[in-house]
């Protein structure tokens, strides 16, 4: 199957989103 990969930039952006 497909692996769900998130790069660090995306993960860090999610931190500040509501």
* CA separation for the pair 13, 7 (Å, rounded): 10
Tokens representing residue 13 in the block: 């952006």
Structural Rg of the chain based on CA atoms: 10
Minimum CB–partner distance for residue 9 and another protein (Å): 10
Residues 1-18, interacting with another protein (CB under 8 A): 3-8, 10-12, 14-15
Count the residues of the shown chain that bind another protein, applying the rule CB under 8 A: 11
Minimum CB–partner distance for residue 3 and another protein (Å): 6
The residues of the shown chain that bind another protein, judged by CB under 8 A, are 3-8, 10-12, 14-15
């Amino acid at each position: 199957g497909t692996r769900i990969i998130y790069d660090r930039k995306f993960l860090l952006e999610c931190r500040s989103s509501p």
